[in-house]
Amino acid sequence: MKKRFYIENPEIFYDLEKKNKSVMFMTSHYGGFEWFLSINYHVPQLPFAVYTPLSNKSLEVLIKKFRLRHGSKLISRYEAGSYIKKQLKENKLFLYGMAADQSAQIRSVTYWKEFLGIKVPVFTGSERIAKQHDIPVVFGKVVKVKRGYYETEFQLITDTPKTFKDYQITDAYTTLTEDNIKVQPELYLWSHRRFKHRDKVPTEFQ
């Protein structure tokens, strides 16, 4: 796995460890994104992936078995907020991984953002948690080298999230995701219907 999913600059995480910092790690459904579950081999913080549990219990057990094989842990998105708060209170260093490019439910969305030229609802939970607990935010840029081989470059969005205005971190993440997609657009998971709410943009965001 370390040969096929090469990490270019893991020192970002070691520098943050020296500052006694956990990390909010943001990525997207792009390239070998599932392989980020092997990040445990490269960083000093204990990695947790925030995910949505499946309603099919048998499939849930199977998926968790595959996702846990490289040492990362899983947190249900319904429990992430309280879990992160608990771990920080115990002064443990963790990496919280979130693929935040999925289409948010309209009834709970608070922010719409242009993404690849189309206004879409976006998740802001990663930003809210990072600002609330002052957790540095890092983005993972993925490039496919050849079949079955990827390289990742980590980009620090901020190590002082509380100094950012509302939605600035979300905007930065969205721009980095767009830039990554434009390099090799065929690697994006277009099937997750990112633009299904394009005709429902509220007046205040048009």
**pLDDT tens, position by position, 197-206:** 888 888 888 7
Question: Largest Cα–Cα distance of the chain, in whole Å?
Answer: 49
- As a whole number of Å, the CA-based R_g of the chain is 17
Q: Say if residue 109's pLDDT is above 80.
A: no
**pLDDT tens track for 44-85:** 999 998 888 788 888 878 888 888 888 888 888 888 888 888
With tokens 């995701």, the residue in question is: 177
With tokens 């950012």, the residue in question is: 164
- pLDDT the model gives residue 84: 85
Strand runs labelled E in 14-148: 23-27, 46-51, 73-76, 94-99, 112-115, 118-121, 137-146
Domain extent for 163: 5-205
The answer to whether 112 and 122 have CB atoms below 8 angstroms apart is yes
The answer to whether 93 and 20 have CB atoms below 8 angstroms apart is yes
Q: Give the number of domains in the chain.
A: 1
Identity of residue 170: T
Q: Say if residue 190's pLDDT is above 80.
A: yes
Percent of the chain with pLDDT over 70: 100
